[in-house]
Structure 1
Amino acid sequence: MKLNNLKPGQTARVISLGGEGALRQHFLDMGILPETEMTLVKLAPMGDPMEFRLHGYELTLRVSDAKNIEVELLDKATEQKTPAKKETIEHPGLGEDGKYHKKGSGNPLPEGTRLKFALVGNQNSGKTTLFNQLTGSNQHVGNFPGVTVDRKDGMIRGQDNAVVTDLPGIYSMSPYSSEELVSRNFILNEKPHCIINIVDVTSIDRSLYLTMQLLELGIPMVLALNMMDEMKGNGGSVDINSMEAMLGIPVVPISASKNHGVDELIRHAVHVAKNQEGPLRQDFCSSDDNGGAVHRCLHAVIHLIEDHAKAAEIPTRFAASKIIGGDNLILEQLKLDDNEKEMLEHIVIQMENERGLDRNAAIADMRYAYIRRVTASCVTKPERSEERIRSQRLDTILTGKFTAIPMFILIMGTVFFLTFFVIGPFLQDLLAMGIGALQDVVARGMESINVNPAVRSLVIEGIFEGVGSVLSFLPLIVIMFFFLSLLEDSGYIARVAFVMDKLLRKIGLSGRSIVPMLIGFGCTVPAVMSTRTLPSDRDRKMTILLTPFMSCTAKLPIYGFFVNALFPKISWILITALYLLGILVGILVALLFKKTLFKGEAVPFVMELPNYRMPQAKNVIRLLWEKTKDFLHRAFTVILIATIVVWFLKSFDFHFN
């Protein structure tokens, strides 16, 4: 049977995975492999996409993609047995001074070297939160996959000469999306002195898949197990010593949101970077696994390409696993001759015949097999997750078949009502009173010292009235971003994308495009910037062109001026109608684009659904401060100049009288 034939609550084991190209590789990277068990959690309200649970996390797939996956139905999911208590393993002491790594061991960098760190992790793993803790920076944090849309740099606090780069969230080192290319190219070309790999310990099976690939690079590395507070709170635990021994790198449990363990993480990272202590283990295939077919293939290819990999300055083990999987970008860089390419193909075909899997699935299965051994030996998973139970309860209402759309309309309607007709106007009046009082004080002061009338007119009638009128809309902008930040931080925005995918697909977009459009109601600039998280160039361009049809808060002064002047009694109805008209025109333009400029289908909707979390006050306040500062910066530059020009034209004739 096909995966799309499952009913909610049913579990099936994957037999084979169809499809081809980058999308199929992405499915493999996300853990959809032969023998993987997948449980259908629910369907979106419109019947598409589908939400599955596998490897301890939730993943969405469209029905059309699920049709390519052959499965067999199981009576029930296989129970995860708690591993028997093992002997205590002595602390390996990786990334520390002392008897394990004496001063001067490894290959120490010269004194005074500027240390470069790369912060790498899955989307929604807490990476940006950790970056803020490491640097004291003010990057935006959200509970939606893909908050980091570009690389960001910052100095590590407490370190004189250490810079960390926050790279876009990725699930593997395969070039599926532009984010993965940015991260991979940075690591291969910029050659950081150390990688800080952050993983979500609550879904550690899937998270360690990226870790396996990073270890193949041979770069000094520290593993940060984030959200340990959640895992411990649910009764789970991790044997840190055993995990360090099995992975060959320092492992540090942290809670980025609470700043627990971050100082220890910095100490370990700086130590391995300064001393260039690389991973002690890179070979995760065994000659005993499935007859050793993958093991023999990998080592044969390593010997075949070793000289080419050194010449291209690409880690040999990493290059070997990538070209076996058909990574053409790496293959081009190696510059193999025709005989070597032919030999490579023979080696890989022999491995496929012996293993009974295609090349991509065999490499992915090799990595997940070792991950299963690591988690079985080191991780005691909680029997139940309070966060997941809470999310399931909320989802029965927020993504329910008959309640999802009404709840979305209710929530967004409440946001707009509170922003434009309750909280916003109240704060606008307070701000206007404050500006008016300050204007009176300045006017009296200038009059008392006999300031030139022209200068007085410029300050009072030009600057105060011009900039003041624009500043009066600051509360609306701040309140709008406040509510959008709450929705994103809580995890609801990801559900909106899930619910709206089928609807947006009718106009040629995927559900992910709903996020930039919602942000567009606050401000078009960050909305356009956020489109960089979309995996398709077609979707990015189309979403950018449609976002301006969502009426941002900068358009409110225009709406308010004309509506209050012409129809004061029904102003709120007309303003709402103007917003709806913008959406309607956007839909019509999208349908036109779908038939002309952007022919074709939207990209597959493959997205992880995070658990709902309580929005953190610090994150929300940080975002509001950034937006307020940005608005004020604009108000006192472009708008200040514009108001002076308007005042000048209004106050003087062509003879400057």
Structure 2
Amino acid sequence: MSNNSITMALAGNPNAGKTTLFNRLTGARQHVGNYPGITVAHKEGHFTQDDQKVTLTDLPGTYSLTAYSVEEIVTRDFLTTQKPDVVINIVDASNIERNLYLTTQFLEMGVPLIIALNMIDVAKDRGIEIQSQKLAELLGVTVVPIVARSGEGTEELIRQAINVAKSDKIWTSRDISYGDDLDEVLMEIITLINESSFLVNNYNPRFTGIKYLEHDDQMLTKGQEADPLLAKKLEQTVGSISDHLLKTMDVYPEAIIADHRYGFIKSIVRQGVMTHAFDIDRLYTSDKIDKVLTNRLLGPLFMLAILFGLYQFTFSWSELPVTWMEGLFGWLGGIVENTLPEGMLKSMIISGVIDGVGGVLGFVPLIMFMFFGIAVLEDSGYLARVAFMMDRVFRIFGLHGSSVMPFIVSGGIAGGCAVPGVMATRTLRSPKERMATLLTVPFMNCGAKVPVLILLIGAFFSDHKAMYMFLFTMLAWLVALLAAKFLRMTVLKGESTPFVMELPPYRFPTLQGLLIHTWERTWQYIKKAGTVILAISILLWALMTFPGLQESDRLTFQTERDKITSTYPKTVQEEIQNITAEITLLSADAAELLEKLRKIDQNESAAALRNSVAGKIGRFFEPVSSYAGFDWKTNIAMLGGFAAKEVIISTLGTVYSMGEIESDDAGTLGQRLVKDPNWNSVVAISALIFIMFYAPCFVTVVCIAKEASWKWAFFSMAFNTGFAFLASVAVFQIGTFFG
């Protein structure tokens, strides 16, 4: 502990309210979810209590400190290497026995500890009363009842935590008996550890001994690196007792340790710590709701109805704000058009920035409404039920129930991101199930794809936007599951593993929490549009601008202008030359001449675009892409989408402001596409299929490489793009055949 700041760590089971408390104390914009595994790395925040500065770290939700999952490893490593001044253990008062299992391991670890007994309101509703003072006496640590969602008791918690951090108490390991056989071996191991100072800088000797008995892989590796001879001796000692227990009791040491921990917890709880006001077997409100919402027959129907309702809400409420945003960027384009002189700078600002990035930012209101709806589903606890119900389906396709969360995080209800989805696969313990999940989560409709889907659906299927969005979401799930089944039957053969999941109680989301979650995700979208998308849009504008037309071609267009102009009287020519922004009325001849000159300008722009670097690349692929209905201009946008899917919109905006269609008259990008003879509803569906399923964005590819290998990253790009193109060709050819 420094003189100025105290370091605290929040630790506890998933769904115990840990991150909710973190947000309340620090004001940090961290997402709160009602399902396990939402926090994959610790987050840090700062606040001041009674003039005392506090640095607070939110650790991943975990049930144990044995290194079975990434959450357990992250939590344990932080506590042993960073050594916070105090650990605040969040315990769910309505599930106290299960939550105290982690508490016993903190006690064995010997960390400075205080217990935050959270959700006492939920416990009270269930007829459970916890005597916090009695619990504190029996465990030997401070216990403070709180309600993290409302803030009740949180100030007292922090005051007590500061007192613990500042106290001179020497924290030692709490001794829990594991039976005569294990206790005797454990004392022998502790003696050997103390004699050699084995791993004592980071771990309490008793804790190290217990981890050896539990055959903790990470601890065994650390031991072999620190002292190979002693590590081997400890492993032999553990091996002997393991063999003895298997022969005499047919059980492993870790099972005995778990049983005795729960026995210790029961002995604590039964000493007047917990009482029930009424029958503990009665159905609580959440259980009654689940009888309907997770019913085998009705549950999936409600799930589909809720999803469709989400899209109906999103499109209905966002229509007017989206129109305002389109008008805003149209107004900005008009100002630049009438202010800046003709030249490269004007072209870049209008075509590269306003029509490019503006096309992406125009969907901000819609994205915001969608994120708000998803936040309601998450914070209420319903998404955990979606995962529970989807497990039945996932097993058919060779995936694990825990694969549901990576799919949802990646955009299973549209609007997620494949990067955290790929990272969330770390919680899967089966390597082949993990790899199958990792390779198929990019098929989901992430937040980058959503604006592109909305653009094309809004342009070509405007009367049924919610229905088409719903159908394409269902299609993403179906294709991802079929792809997973294909992988599990070929390159990733193996048995499926069982799935166990805790369903948190339903809760009314707080308005503050919903606004934080909505703004956090929306801001990420805006930030990406203002940085990555802006840079790529300007780069693509340059590729679509240079090298430009050759001098001879420019002279040809100029000659054509001069020839047409010369056929009109001099007074008409002067009327055209003296045109200003304020002049709105022209003679019939002048208007006719102006229209002819604009047509030549459009043809010149189109020729320049075709001759640009991007144009040549797009035309190079056109003989093949035409089978899917994509012309060379669409190819440019699709190639840009390899970097980030939002770039498809910005590139189309740039292409159609530099190409054949006059941007001043064409209206929004969607209207420009509808007017283009190369686009129709069949091409739109073909493009939607390709965009949904072709190669993940560059950042996701890098993430796959880090989580697996570059071999699998390249496989993902090739497999996804190949499948997407074949599917698009099939859609276009069949659609064209039937007219």
Pick from 204, 207, 210 the counterpart of residue 321 of structure 1.
210
Q: Which residue of 1 aligns with 2:219?
A: 330
The one-letter amino acid of 1:306's match is N
Q: Which residue of 1 aligns with 2:303?
A: 408
Q: Which residue of 2 aligns with 1:638?
A: 532
The one-letter amino acid of 1:215's match is L
Q: Which residue of 2 aligns with 1:522?
A: 415
Pick from 391, 394, 417 the counterpart of residue 504 of structure 1.
394
Deviation at 1:315, TM superposition (A): 0.6
Task: State percent identity of aligned pairs.
Answer: 37
What secondary structure sits across from 1:256 in the alignment? coil
Q: Which residue of 2 aligns with 1:619?
A: 513
Q: Is residue 242–residue 252 contact of structure 2 (8 Å, CA) maintained in 1?
A: no
**Structure 2 vs 1, CA of residues 434 and 398 (structure 1 numbering), >3 Å: closer, same or farther?**
same
More helix by share: 2
1:418 aligns with 2:313: yes
What secondary structure sits across from 1:362 in the alignment? helix
Aligned-partner Cα distance in 1 for 2:212–2:288: 45
**Structure 2 vs 1, CA of residues 539 and 388 (structure 1 numbering), >3 Å: closer, same or farther?**
farther
For residues 40-77 of structure 1, the C-alpha deviation after alignment (integer angstroms, 9 at most, x for no partner) is: xxxxxxxxxxxxxxxxxxxxxxxxxxxxxxxxxxxxxx
What secondary structure sits across from 1:157 in the alignment? strand
Q: Is residue 355–residue 362 contact of structure 1 (8 Å, CA) maintained in 2?
A: no
1:137 aligns with 2:32: no
Aligned-partner Cα distance in 2 for 1:576–1:350: 59
Aligned-partner Cα distance in 2 for 1:227–1:452: 64
Q: Is residue 307–residue 470 contact of structure 2 (8 Å, CA) maintained in 1?
A: no
The one-letter amino acid of 2:406's match is P
Superposed, which structure 2 residues align to 1:72-471 within 5 Å? 111-112=3-4, 115-158=6-49, 162-279=54-171, 282-285=174-177, 295-308=183-196, 310-313=198-201, 314-334=203-223, 335=227, 336=230, 341-346=235-240, 358-377=252-271, 378-383=273-278, 389-420=284-315, 422-436=316-330, 442=335, 447=338, 451-454=340-343, 458-460=348-350, 462-471=352-361
Q: Which residue of 2 aligns with 1:89?
A: none
The one-letter amino acid of 2:368's match is V
Pick from 585, 588, 597 the counterpart of residue 479 of structure 2.
585
1:482 aligns with 2:372: yes
The one-letter amino acid of 1:620's match is L
Q: Which has the higher mean CA deviation after the structures are superposed, 423-432 or 180-189?
A: 423-432
Q: Is residue 212–residue 235 contact of structure 2 (8 Å, CA) maintained in 1?
A: no
Q: Is residue 148–residue 167 contact of structure 1 (8 Å, CA) maintained in 2?
A: yes
* Structure 1 residue ranges without an equivalent (≥5): 1-108
What secondary structure sits across from 2:121 in the alignment? helix
Aligned-partner Cα distance in 1 for 2:83–2:70: 19
Q: Is residue 40–residue 70 contact of structure 2 (8 Å, CA) maintained in 1?
A: no
Aligned-partner Cα distance in 1 for 2:212–2:538: 62
**Structure 2 vs 1, CA of residues 267 and 593 (structure 1 numbering), >3 Å: closer, same or farther?**
same
Deviation at 1:215, TM superposition (A): 0.7
**Structure 2 vs 1, CA of residues 354 and 393 (structure 1 numbering), >3 Å: closer, same or farther?**
same
Q: Which residue of 1 aligns with 2:439?
A: 545
Aligned-partner Cα distance in 1 for 2:158–2:505: 28
Deviation at 1:149, TM superposition (A): 1.3
For residues 366-400 of structure 1, the C-alpha deviation after alignment (integer angstroms, 9 at most, x for no partner) is: 21122112212222244368996111111111111
Q: Which residue of 2 aligns with 1:11?
A: none
What secondary structure sits across from 1:147 in the alignment? coil
Deviation at 1:343, TM superposition (A): 4.7
Q: Is residue 189–residue 234 contact of structure 2 (8 Å, CA) maintained in 1?
A: no
**Structure 2 vs 1, CA of residues 134 and 574 (structure 1 numbering), >3 Å: closer, same or farther?**
closer
Aligned residues: 538
Deviation at 1:482, TM superposition (A): 1.8
What secondary structure sits across from 2:448 in the alignment? helix
Aligned-partner Cα distance in 1 for 2:538–2:52: 45
Aligned-partner Cα distance in 1 for 2:493–2:158: 49
RMSD: 3.4
Q: Is residue 402–residue 428 contact of structure 2 (8 Å, CA) maintained in 1?
A: yes
Aligned-partner Cα distance in 2 for 1:522–1:536: 28
Q: Is residue 371–residue 522 contact of structure 2 (8 Å, CA) maintained in 1?
A: no
Aligned-partner Cα distance in 2 for 1:524–1:184: 28
Deviation at 1:614, TM superposition (A): 1.4
Q: Which residue of 1 aligns with 2:696?
A: none
Aligned-partner Cα distance in 1 for 2:3–2:458: 67
Q: Is residue 293–residue 355 contact of structure 1 (8 Å, CA) maintained in 2?
A: no
Q: Which has the higher mean CA deviation after the structures are superposed, 504-513 or 387-396?
A: 387-396
For residues 163-196 of structure 1, the C-alpha deviation after alignment (integer angstroms, 9 at most, x for no partner) is: 2221111111112212112212222233333222
For residues 582-620 of structure 1, the C-alpha deviation after alignment (integer angstroms, 9 at most, x for no partner) is: 333323321221123322234431211111111222211
Aligned-partner Cα distance in 2 for 1:418–1:588: 30
**Structure 2 vs 1, CA of residues 604 and 186 (structure 1 numbering), >3 Å: closer, same or farther?**
farther
Superposed, which structure 2 residues align to 1:42-81 within 5 Å? none
Q: Is residue 522–residue 552 contact of structure 1 (8 Å, CA) maintained in 2?
A: yes
The one-letter amino acid of 1:504's match is F
State the TM-score, normalized to the length of structure 2. Answer: 0.66
What secondary structure sits across from 1:257 in the alignment? coil
Aligned-partner Cα distance in 2 for 1:315–1:297: 16
**Structure 2 vs 1, CA of residues 295 and 572 (structure 1 numbering), >3 Å: closer, same or farther?**
closer
Comparing both chains, which one has the higher relative contact order based on Cα–Cα distances under 8 Å and sequence gaps of 6 or more? 1
**Structure 2 vs 1, CA of residues 404 and 115 (structure 1 numbering), >3 Å: closer, same or farther?**
same
The one-letter amino acid of 2:301's match is P
Q: Is residue 218–residue 278 contact of structure 1 (8 Å, CA) maintained in 2?
A: no
More strand by share: 1
Aligned-partner Cα distance in 2 for 1:370–1:555: 52
The one-letter amino acid of 1:506's match is I
Aligned-partner Cα distance in 1 for 2:490–2:185: 47
Max radius of gyration: which structure? 2
**Structure 2 vs 1, CA of residues 593 and 275 (structure 1 numbering), >3 Å: closer, same or farther?**
same
**Structure 2 vs 1, CA of residues 156 and 298 (structure 1 numbering), >3 Å: closer, same or farther?**
farther
Aligned-partner Cα distance in 2 for 1:514–1:358: 32
Q: Which residue of 1 aligns with 2:382?
A: 492
Aligned-partner Cα distance in 1 for 2:401–2:242: 38
